[in-house]
């Protein structure tokens, strides 16, 4: 699986130092994503099934179904991954490859 790996110099600030929380802050993940919004992200932005979406997020397909139906809400890392998928769908799409068995 091909991943875009940045060079060591790309990961450092202009002065060559490691970036720290002392000088940078991280945008918070969204506080809430509706089931409708998650389904729209999955279908219209990424164009994937619930099963493939679950695999991309490393959650059970039942979890995606529960999110979309409003039975559960994503939190923590799942919210961050959904925010990444929303802003940069190609980041998650990079983890997909055609099955070798023709499935």
Beta-strand runs (E) in the chain: none
What confidence tier does 86 reach under pLDDT thresholds 50, 70, 90? very high
pLDDT per residue as tens digits for the range 9-40: 455 666 778 889 988 998 888 888 999 999 99
Q: In the chain, what percentage of residues exceed pLDDT 70? A: 84
Rg (CA), the chain: 16
Q: What is the pTM of this model?
A: 0.75
Task: Tell me what pLDDT residue 47 has.
Answer: 95
Task: Tell me what pLDDT residue 12 has.
Answer: 60
Domains and CATH numbers, the chain: 33-96 (1.10.260.40)
Q: In the chain, what percentage of residues exceed pLDDT 90? A: 62
Q: Are 94 and 3 in contact (CB under 8 A)?
A: yes
Nearest to 32 by CA among 79, 72, 71: 79
């Amino acid at each position: 699986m091909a991943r875009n790996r940045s060079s060591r110099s790309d990961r450092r600030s202009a002065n060559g130092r490691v970036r720290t929380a002392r000088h940078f802050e991280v945008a918070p993940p969204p506080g809430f994503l509706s089931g409708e919004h998650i389904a729209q992200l999955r279908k219209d932005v990424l164009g994937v099934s619930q099963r493939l979406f679950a695999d991309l997020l490393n959650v059970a397909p039942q979890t995606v179904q529960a999110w979309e139906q409003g039975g559960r809400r994503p939190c923590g890392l799942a919210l961050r991954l959904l925010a990444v998928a929303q802003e940069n769908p190609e980041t998650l799409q990079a983890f997909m490859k055609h099955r070798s068995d023709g499935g």
